[in-house]
Amino acid sequence: MPGRWEGPWEGRLEKWRDLLFNPYLLPVARPYSITVETINTCNAKCIFCPYPYNISARERGIMSMPLFRKIVDDYAEWGGGNLCLTPITGEILIDKHLEERIDYARSLSPIKTIEFYTNGLLLDGDRLENLFARGVTRLFISVAGHDRESYRQLMGVDRFQRFCANLEAIHATALRLGRLTSVTIAVRTQLELESYRQTTFYREHLQRFPQVDLINRFSTWGNSIELARLPIPLTAASLGEEHRHRMQRLKCPCAIHYGVSGGMMITWNGVVSYCGCRDFMGNTDLVIGDASRESLVDIWKSPAKKRIVAGFERGEPPLFCQQCDKYTPMTRMNRLQRIRRLLGRGGW
Ligand code: SF4
Ligand code: SF4
């Protein structure tokens, strides 16, 4: 069956719709969120994450406090917004400076919200209460599988019981504090979603949370993970020619940089990537600067960043993006969500 925009109208309807509804036509003065990767070590080895396959390929490290303060100061002076502390691959709660970083960021009023993903293995009720008290706005707790065996198979560690115990404490604490809606459970499963909702784990542990995101597709992270290793890979079509044609046809930069799903990323040693979502090595053609030497504003306006945007606009996106299944064209940015984000009320 032909797709919605195929046939003689292919491209034209999208073009007119984008002209009429495209928030990209409005200037985006600064990112509504930045991602600061303070640590790139993890205590899990998920088979759908590039981390276990690239442990030795990337230097491990923790961001120094002076560099962290410099980055957050830059962002606050620029106008601030959301601070995302999710490492591209890593577990934030291993970072022994985390609480100190949150305190510092919260001392700067332009930093409106702080959020991050965690696998929850180091999160009990006391720590959650402490994080909320210090000013964390939202937490996403990621889990894969539905019992000890599927958890071990997908997450690469045998810690399902520990996770369940933590989740109990997290629920009780968030409920007591009236912060249940500040916690989202992000689930990966190899089951059909309806089957997953019938599992004991879902019924006894997860469905009490108001926000549960279920996903049963797995990315290759730009062909960094062999398709054969993934339980249910995204279709080849989404990674292949069709995907590239879509980028070429839309001629539109990826919105990740501007604040969707984290905004541009600063790695633990200061490398700045256009992408806060997929550039897990921080050494691709998406690198646009070094936050230890340059201000974030200068990097945002840098020739390297302009080259990437111009490449998208010519239909020649960066090589790394051509393999990416997470492409989010600016035309898909929802105005309402942008306004919500500006008001510090979430979105994306
Ligand atoms: S998906 Fe997250 S928890 Fe799993 S190995 Fe990667 S960084 Fe660690
Ligand atoms: S297309 Fe993919 S790799 Fe490129 S900026 Fe968007 S999310 Fe990142």
Q: Is 322 helix (H, G, I), strand (E, B) or coil?
A: helix
Which-ligand-closest: CA of 261?
A: 2
Give the CA count within 13 Å in the CB-facing half-sphere of 332.
Answer: 16
Instruction: Tell me if 37 CB under 6 Å of ligand 1.
Output: no
Instruction: Tell me if 44 CB under 6 Å of ligand 1.
Output: yes
Q: How far apart are CA 115 and CA 140, in angstroms?
A: 8
pLDDT of amino acid 219: 81
CA of 256 to the centre of ligand 2 (A): 7
Which-ligand-closest: CA of 54?
A: 1
Measuring from atom 1 of ligand 2, which residue has the nearest CA? 327
C-alpha distances in Å from residue 331, one per residue of 47, 213, 288:
32, 24, 23
Instruction: Identify which has the larger pLDDT, 259 or 189.
Output: 189
Instruction: Identify which has the larger pLDDT, 13 or 309.
Output: 309
Beta carbons of 279 and 222 less than 8 angstroms apart: no
Q: How far apart are CA 89 and CA 69, in angstroms?
A: 22
| Residues in the ligand 2 pocket, defined by CB under 6 Å | 254, 256, 274-275, 277-278, 320-321, 324, 326-327
Which-ligand-closest: CA of 142?
A: 1
pLDDT band at 345 (very low <50, low <70, confident <90, very high): very low
CA of 42 to the centre of ligand 1 (A): 6
CA of 51 to the centre of ligand 1 (A): 7
CA of 257 to the centre of ligand 2 (A): 8
What's the distance, CA 14 to chain centroid?
27
pLDDT in tens, 77-90: 999 999 999 999 99
| Amino acid (one-letter) located at 200 | T
Instruction: Tell me if 90 CB under 6 Å of ligand 1.
Output: yes
pLDDT of amino acid 348: 35
Instruction: Tell me if 170 CB under 6 Å of ligand 1.
Output: no
Q: Can you give the pTM of this predicted structure?
A: 0.86
Q: 140: which DSSP letter?
A: E
pLDDT band at 237 (very low <50, low <70, confident <90, very high): very low
Mutation pick for ligand 1 pocket among 46, 55, 121, 189 (CB with most ligand atoms within 8 Å): 46
User: How many residues belong to the chain?
Assistant: 348
Indicate if the pLDDT at residue 6 is higher than 50.
no
Instruction: Tell me if 225 CB under 6 Å of ligand 1.
Output: no
pLDDT in tens, 81-134: 999 999 999 999 999 999 999 999 999 999 999 999 999 999 999 999 999 999
pLDDT of amino acid 323: 81
CA of 184 to the centre of ligand 1 (A): 16
pLDDT of amino acid 243: 66
Mutation pick for ligand 2 pocket among 277, 288, 332, 348 (CB with most ligand atoms within 8 Å): 277
Q: Is 289 helix (H, G, I), strand (E, B) or coil?
A: strand
CA of 10 to the centre of ligand 2 (A): 24
